[in-house]
Each structure stands twice: as C-alpha cells, then as structure tokens.
Amino acid sequence: MEIAVISGKGGTGKSSVSSAFATLSEIIVLADCDVDAANLYLIFNPENEEEQVYAGGQKAVIDYSLCDNCRVCQDYCRFDAISVVNGKTVISGILCDGCKLCSRICPENAIKMIVENKSRMFSGSFRNGKMVYGRLAPGEENSGKLVNLVREKAKQISLKNGLNTIIIDGPPGIGCPVISSVTGVDKVVIVTEPTISGLNDLKRVLEITSKFSLNTWVIINKFNLNPDMSNRIESYCNNCDIKIAGKLPFEPKVVEAMINCKSITEWAPESHFTKEIISAYKIITNE
Ligand code: SF4
Ligand code: SF4
C-alpha cells in the first residue's frame, strides 16, 4: 500500500506528519519525494546502501576557443541566461533551461550541451525500515522524473524485503513533481492549516486528487490556532465528500522533535498530537 502525504504549500507540517507515520510500529519503506528540498534524511540519518547518479537535464557551455563574442546567443536566449560580464559572453548555469537553442544558432558552433549529473538518489536503511530519497542539485531540472525514480526504487525495495507499506513524503504545491508523487498511489493525505491560504491551497490540491480519482483524506494541522477557519475547512471537505482523518493541535514539541532528529511520535509519544496522529493513521489505513 502506497500512502502519499502532500500539501498545497510548504510549512503546513507535511514532513512532521510523514515522519510520524514512518515511525509508528509497522516496519515500512519511506520515500522522500520532496526532491527539491528533501529533509527526512536529516531526521532519520539513514545508512545509505546505494547511491545513483541522476542526470537531471542539460546545460549550455561555451567553448571560448571558438567564441568570437558576437552575442547572437544572448539575443536569442528566452531565459536571460546569457549575459556579458567584463566584455565576455557567459552562460548562467542556474538560469539556463537546457533548451539547446543557443547551441543551434551559434554561428561559430561554440556552444555545447553538457549533461547535468550532480543530482543523486540514495537508498538504504533507517531505524524503522528502508528509506529512499532523491536530492536534486540546485538549478537542475526534471524533478518529476526523479520523483518517479524514487517511487520505482521504493517499490522494488518493498517487494524485495516483503514490506507492505510505502509512505511517500511528496513535495508541496500542485506542480509536476506532486502529480508524479500521487499518481497510482492507494491513498493520499493532504495536510493543511487553518488559514485562508491554507483553504485555497487545499482546494487546488483537491482538484488534482479528484482528477486522478484518488482516495483522499485531509489532516488539519494546528486546528486550534484558528477554530473558525478550521470549521470552514471541515465544512468545505464535508460538502465535497472529502474525509477528515484528524485535527492536530498546535504542539511546540514538533519543532523540538525535529531539532533532536526525531519524529513527534518518538519524541513525545504521550502527547495529544501523537495520539491524534495514531488515530488518523488508523482511519486512513483501515478504510
Ligand atoms: S553566438 Fe556563439 S560565438 Fe556568438 S557570443 Fe554566443 S557563443 Fe560566442
Ligand atoms: S540552452 Fe536555452 S536556456 Fe540555456 S543558454 Fe542556451 S538558449 Fe538559453
């Protein structure tokens, strides 16, 4: 069973929920698919057993032995990746989108495309099972493709080790890597917070999960900080036939747990937050 935990935006507590789900009693496979900002490895400090290079795309580079500084490439680059610095034409590795146009139009054939290979996928063991995570290098592209690789690897590991549950920590937002994180999963959990933007982001994510007909639950984090808004979110979900799996209270120990490289269920097993998380997990997995 694959359970994906996602959120409409960052900072809602998605990783706190994922890490808590990952450290309940069952031994699981944890897939950190938030490849642009993977962070669960910081909490779980996994023992990496395999490291794979991920070619995230291509970047343009200038061969200065051929370049005559005509600046034609600068005029054509739609991504403003080419500029002139101290009289020399240079390409920004961060801004270059890898579209290859400059390499085609350079009159001196001075621009080559090189494969970016600084991104990595790691797999190994952590204290409650197996873990896979991707780390996309700054400026590298195709995070959705890396998410697919992480999920594929997690499935292989789950089959090989007879582990039935895969917890996916998905990226925030509604972009391509989110879609890659949820397509074909058994269950999706959306973590939201009781604010106007929390509700608006939730609506946008629900459009995705309903488009893919995914079995979806919502968890409202820090619900007691704004009970009115929390009620609005609940009403909205009820009207759309979306199930609320749990309402988590504001809990300062969540941050303490992260600082101490623990999930909240490990750090504060007797807290109300932990009890609610356990209850939410049971609701999600038993249905
Ligand atoms: S188009 Fe080619 S020759 Fe002209 S500045 Fe760009 S790299 Fe150099
Ligand atoms: S490959 Fe495309 S984005 Fe990159 S520098 Fe060339 S024209 Fe600009």
- Claim to verify: residue 75 and residue 123 sit in the same structural domain: no
Last residue of a domain, one of 84, 100, 116: 116
Summarised one tens digit per residue, pLDDT across range 83-105 is 999 999 999 988 998 999 999 99
Token digits of residue 82: 């080419």
Ligand 1 atom 3: residue of nearest CA: 67
Integer CA distances (angstroms), 258 to 158, 166, 228, in order: 26, 21, 29
Which ligand 2 atom is nearest residue 73's CA?
7
Q: How far is the CA of 85 from the centre of ligand 1 (A)?
A: 14
Q: Which ligand is nearest to the CA of 113?
A: 2
- Claim to verify: residue 175 and residue 90 sit in the same structural domain: no
- Claim to verify: residue 136 and residue 264 sit in the same structural domain: yes
Contact 244, 237 (CB under 8 A): yes
Output the domain CATH number for residue 72: 3.30.70.20
What is the model's pLDDT at position 142? 66
- Claim to verify: residue 137 and residue 207 sit in the same structural domain: yes
Q: How far is the CA of 107 from the centre of ligand 2 (A)?
A: 15
Last residue of a domain, one of 116, 142, 160: 116
CA atoms of 93 and 59, how far apart (whole Å)? 7
Say if strands 2-7 and 111-116 run parallel, antiparallel, or are unpaired.
Answer: unpaired
Ligand 2 atom 2: residue of nearest CA: 99
Q: How far is the CA of 68 from the centre of ligand 2 (A)?
A: 18
Listed in sequence order, the residues at least 6 apart from 286 whose beta carbon sits closer than 8 Å to its beta carbon are none
Task: Count how many Cα atoms sit within 13 Å of the Cα of residue 265 in the half-sphere of its side chain.
Answer: 20
- Claim to verify: residue 130 and residue 174 sit in the same structural domain: yes
69 lines ligand 1 (CB under 6 A): yes
- Claim to verify: residue 154 and residue 15 sit in the same structural domain: yes
* Rounded to 5°, angle at Cα 98 from 66 and 10: 145
Output the domain CATH number for residue 234: 3.40.50.300
Residue to substitute in 97, 111, 116 for testing ligand 2 pocket (most ligand atoms within 8 angstroms of CB)? 97
- Claim to verify: residue 94 and residue 14 sit in the same structural domain: no
62 lines ligand 2 (CB under 6 A): no
* 3-class SS of residue 8: coil
Q: Is 13 left (phi over 0), alpha (psi -120 to 50) or beta?
A: left
Ligand 1 atom 4: residue of nearest CA: 70
Q: How far is the CA of 79 from the centre of ligand 2 (A)?
A: 7
A 10 A CB-CB count for 72 gives: 16
At 80, phi and psi to the nearest 5? 50, 35
- Claim to verify: residue 78 and residue 123 sit in the same structural domain: no
Q: Which ligand is nearest to the CA of 105?
A: 1
Residue ranges making up the domain that contains 65: 57-116
* Rounded to 5°, angle at Cα 36 from 284 and 213: 35
- Claim to verify: residue 45 and residue 73 sit in the same structural domain: no
Summarised one tens digit per residue, pLDDT across range 113-172 is 998 888 899 999 999 999 999 988 876 766 888 999 999 999 999 999 999 999 999 988
Last residue of a domain, one of 88, 116, 144: 116
Q: Which one-letter amino acid corresponds to residue 184? A: G
- Claim to verify: residue 10 and residue 136 sit in the same structural domain: yes
CA atoms of 201 and 260, how far apart (whole Å)? 30
- Claim to verify: residue 137 and residue 189 sit in the same structural domain: yes
- Claim to verify: residue 80 and residue 183 sit in the same structural domain: no
Task: Work out how many domains the chain is built from and give that number.
Answer: 2
Low-confidence ranges of the chain (pLDDT < 50): none
Q: How far is the CA of 59 from the centre of ligand 1 (A)?
A: 15
